[in-house]
């Protein structure tokens, strides 16, 4: 069996600036792979490579054994329909209310009847405990609520892989914990594979089954949370110290 | 320097053409699956906002321009006893040239600004990327309804502009030259040839497409965060107006 997602020696540069310099990652079925890195280290770029929004200049990215860069337009759009993406600031369509945001991928990409779509929307909203916000516009929601709606929207089409861009960043500590718990809960309930990028060590240690540390375009350390705690790598040490895991 | 500028201009031009092709292809893919290319509700929202919302401005400006044109030509032709030519001048002048041109400029300002600001804000909020990441197709979902709305609406608005100008011209001809409305209407229609009307309509479609493409392109390629929206909106309006005038001249050179 091939992994759900695999990156092999991916190199990527914006103009002349190298962002990813030989990154290899893999996520097996049911994994929660967390990629840690400082801001600007290229975490969002990694997610864009998986979605085929950006393509590697060298190396390759695979989703379910298919090379993303080799897909033609229609296949790429189909592949994206099998992946859910949670954006850092939720990226809800601001002209649509919560219900319409959730229904959007279903209405546009599937032939599901209206009552079934309604049922799925209600179910996913219940999952993130936002049933009461169904008819609200994104502008009326708090940051944490937006993020939960973003998670619900990423789940409506039952993705095989879900990507999180800094799920708990920019939230108050209490809400951040709620979001982390939600990710764990989802993963337990659906066994969906997840790739999560974050700069927060604490949240990474909590939610990861596998971790990788990205620094200056390279993966400098990887392993389970316990292996990371024991790592002698300097950058990992810095992150651990910042998270209060070590003095 | 100049060479650089020309190179950049061509890059933009080819990107705009690609935007049109990409939008058509995404819409085509969707239709091949037996669906409407985009939501009818989104399309009507755009036509309503861009089209119906533009009518008051277009009527007012065209009415005054028609009035002024009749006034000026009447004043010049009267000493020669040729004021009967006034209706024809206003009619031909507007259907061929001023109607499409003025409407184009006004729409470039109104629609160009609106589309660019809207799409630009969506790009900055990562909304466009989110739509793309779902596999929905941002060009089809966002660009196609806007393009089609402005493409189909511009000719309609040009007709409104022409009619408003003729009304203005007729009114001043009655007041200043003592010409009856009936006579004005008759002479105006008689002086129009089919190709005058056809040219005006063709031009209008072209202008509509240009305005829509430039506005969407500028919105989707926004740079520099929220501050970039203001700048992109301004350049979008300026570029669209310049493009309308340039293509108008080109069109006239070819047709005459
Ligand atoms: N469209 C772009 N053009 C040029 N540089 C970019 C672009 N997007 C991101 N970058 C640069 O790439 C680097 C990595 O960006 P990103 O993946 O967003 O970082 P992260 O998500 O880890 O904060 C940053 O230094 C950023 O400045
Ligand atoms: Mg980022």
pLDDT in tens, chain A (247 residues): 789 999 999 999 999 899 999 999 999 999 999 999 999 999 999 999 999 999 999 999 999 999 999 999 889 999 999 999 999 999 999 999 999 999 999 999 999 999 999 999 999 999 999 999 999 999 999 999 999 999 999 999 999 999 999 998 888 889 899 999 999 998 988 889 999 999 999 999 999 999 999 999 999 999 999 999 999 999 999 999 988 876 5
Which chain B residues have a beta carbon less than 8 Å from that of A91? 125-127, 129-130
Give A230→chain B minimum CA distance, Å.
Answer: 37
**Interface contact flag, B134 A74, Cβ < 8 Å:** no
Pick the CATH number of A1-82+162-168+193-247 from 3.40.50.300, 3.40.710.10, 3.40.50.2300, 3.30.365.10: 3.40.50.300
Contact B154, B207 (CB under 8 A): yes
ipTM confidence? 0.92
- What pLDDT does residue B187 have? 92
Instruction: Return the residue of A nearest to B45 by Cα.
Output: A95
In a mutagenesis test of the A interface, which of B130, B139, B140, B145 is the best target, namely the one with the most A β-carbons within 10 Å? B130
Residue ID of nearest Cα to ligand 1 atom 3:
A14
Residue B46 to residue B119: CA distance in whole angstroms: 13
Question: Closest Cα to atom 10, ligand 1: which residue?
Answer: A14
Delimit the domains of chain B by residue range.
Answer: 2-255
Facing A91 at nearest CB: one of B25, B129, B135: B129
Which residues have any ligand 1 atom within 6 Å of their CB?
A: A 14, 19, 37, 39-45
Mutate to test the pocket of ligand 1, among A23, A42, A169 (most ligand atoms within 8 A of CB): A42
Distance A10 CA to ligand 2 centre (A): 18
pLDDT at residue B2, rounded to an integer: 83
- Give the C-alpha distances (Å, rounded to integers) separating A87 from A149, A151, A153, A207, B192: 11, 9, 11, 18, 58
For B141, nearest residue in chain A (alpha carbons): A108
Pairwise CB contact (< 8 Å): B133 & A73: no
Residue closest by Cα to atom 6 of ligand 1: A14
Mutating which of B119, B135, B138 best tests the A interface, going by the most A Cβ atoms within 10 A?
B135
Tell me how far the alpha carbon of residue B58 is from its chain's centroid: 11
End-to-end CA distance of chain A: 42
Please check whether residue B207 is in contact with residue B246, taking contact to mean a CB–CB distance below 8 angstroms: no
Q: How far is it, in rounded angstroms, from Cα A217 to Cα A235? A: 13
Class of residue A53 by CB neighbours under 10 A (exposed 0-12, middle 13-18, buried 19+): middle
Point out the residues of chain B with pLDDT beneath 70: none
Which residues sit opposite A58 in a β-bridge? Answer: A11
* Closest residue of chain B to A48, computed from CA coordinates: B133
Residue of B nearest to A78 (CA): B135
State whether B25 and A73 contact (CB < 8 Å). Answer: yes
Max Cα distance, chain A (Å): 57
Q: Given an 8 Å threshold on Cβ–Cβ distance, is B133 in contact with A104? A: no
> Cα–Cα distance between A21 and B165 in angstroms, integer?
64
Mutational pocket test of ligand 1: of A13, A45, A170, the residue with most ligand atoms within 8 Å of the beta carbon: A45
Instruction: Indicate which residue's Cα is closest to atom 27 of ligand 1.
Output: A40
- pLDDT value at position A246? 62
d(CA B115, CA B162): 25
Domain residue spans of chain A: 1-82+162-168+193-247, 85-158
Residues of B in contact with A80 (CB under 8 A): 132-135
DSSP track, chain B: -HHHHHHHHHHHHHHHHHHHHHHHHHHHHHHHTTS-SS-HHHHHHHIIIIIGGGHHHHHHHHHHHHHHHHHHHHHHHGGGT-GGGHHHHHHHIIIIIIHHHHHHHHHHHHHHHHHHHHHHHHHHTTHHHHHHHTTS-HIIIIIHHHHHHHHHHHHHHHHHHHHHHHHHHHHHHHHHH---HHHHHHHHHHH--HHHHHHHHHHHHHHHHHHHHHHHHHHHT--SHHHHHHHHHHHHHHHHHHHHHHHHHHHHHHH-
Instruction: Using alpha carbons, select from A19, A1, A23 the residue that is nearest to residue A10.
Output: A23
- Contacts with B129 (C-beta within 8 Å, 6 or more apart), sequence order: A53, A87, A91, B123, B138
Measured distance CA(B32)–CA(A167) in Å, rounded: 37
> 10 Å Cβ neighbour count for B149?
24
A45 CA closest ligand 1 atom index: 17
pLDDT given at position B109: 93
Q: Which two tokens stand for residue B170?
A: 């007729």
Q: State the Cα–Cα distance between residues A168 and B31, nearest whole angstrom.
A: 39
Phi, psi of A103, deg, nearest 5: -75, -20
Q: pTM here?
A: 0.91
Of all protein residues, the one whose alpha carbon is nearest to atom 18 of ligand 1 is A44
């Amino acid at each position: 069996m091939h992994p759900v997602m695999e990156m092999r020696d991916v190199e990527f540069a914006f103009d002349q600036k190298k962002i990813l310099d030989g990154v290899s990652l893999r996520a097996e079925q049911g994994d929660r792979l967390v990629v840690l890195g400082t801001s600007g280290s290229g975490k969002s770029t990694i997610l864009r490579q998986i979605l085929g929004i950006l393509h590697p200049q060298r190396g390759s990215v695979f989703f379910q054994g298919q090379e993303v860069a080799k897909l033609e337009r229609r296949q790429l759009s189909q592949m994206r329909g099998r992946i859910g993406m949670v954006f850092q600031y939720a990226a809800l369509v601001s002209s649509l209310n919560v219900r319409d945001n959730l229904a959007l991928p279903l209405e546009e990409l599937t032939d599901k009847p209206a009552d079934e779509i309604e049922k799925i929307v209600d179910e996913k909203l219940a999952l993130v405990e936002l049933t009461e916000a169904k008819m609200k516009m994104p502008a009326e929601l708090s940051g944490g609520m937006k993020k939960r709606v973003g998670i619900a929207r990423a789940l409506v089409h039952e993705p095989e892989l879900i990507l999180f861009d800094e799920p708990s960043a920019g939230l108050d500590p209490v809400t951040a914990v709620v979001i982390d718990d939600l990710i764990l809960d989802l993963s337990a309930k659906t066994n969906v594979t997840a790739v999560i990028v974050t700069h927060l060590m604490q949240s990474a240690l909590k939610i990861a089954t596998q971790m990788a540390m990205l620094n200056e375009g390279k993966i400098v350390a990887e392993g389970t949370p316990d292996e990371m705690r024991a790592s002698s790598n300097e950058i990992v040490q810095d992150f651990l110290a910042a998270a209060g895991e070590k003095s | 320097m100049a060479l650089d500028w020309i190179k950049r201009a061509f890059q933009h031009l080819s990107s705009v053409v690609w935007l049109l092709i990409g939008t058509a292809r995404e819409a085509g893919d969707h239709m091949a699956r037996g669906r409407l290319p985009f939501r009818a509700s989104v399309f009507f929202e755009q036509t309503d906002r861009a089209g119906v919302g533009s009518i008051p401005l277009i009527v007012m400006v065209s009415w005054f321009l028609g009035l002024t044109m009749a006034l000026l030509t009447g004043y010049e032709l009267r000493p020669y006893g040729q004021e009967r030519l006034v209706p024809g001048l206003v009619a031909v002048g507007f259907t061929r040239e001023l109607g499409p041109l003025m409407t184009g400029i006004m729409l470039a300002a109104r629609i160009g600004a609106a589309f660019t600001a809207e799409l630009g804000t969506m790009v900055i909020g990562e909304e466009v990327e989110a739509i793309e990441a779902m596999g929905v197709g941002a060009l089809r979902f966002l660009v196609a309804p806007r393009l089609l709305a402005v493409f189909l609406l511009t000719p309609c608005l040009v007709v409104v502009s022409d009619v408003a100008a003729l009304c203005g011209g007729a009114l001043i001809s009655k007041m200043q030259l003592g010409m009856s409305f009936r006579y004005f209407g008759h002479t105006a229609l008689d002086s129009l040839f089919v190709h005058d009307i056809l040219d005006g309509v063709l031009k209008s479609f072209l202008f509509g497409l240009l305005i829509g493409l430039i506005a969407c392109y500028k919105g989707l390629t926004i740079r520099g965060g929220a501050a970039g929206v203001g700048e992109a909106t301004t350049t979008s309006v300026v570029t669209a107006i310049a493009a309308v005038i340039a293509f108008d001249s080109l069109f006239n050179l070819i047709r005459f």
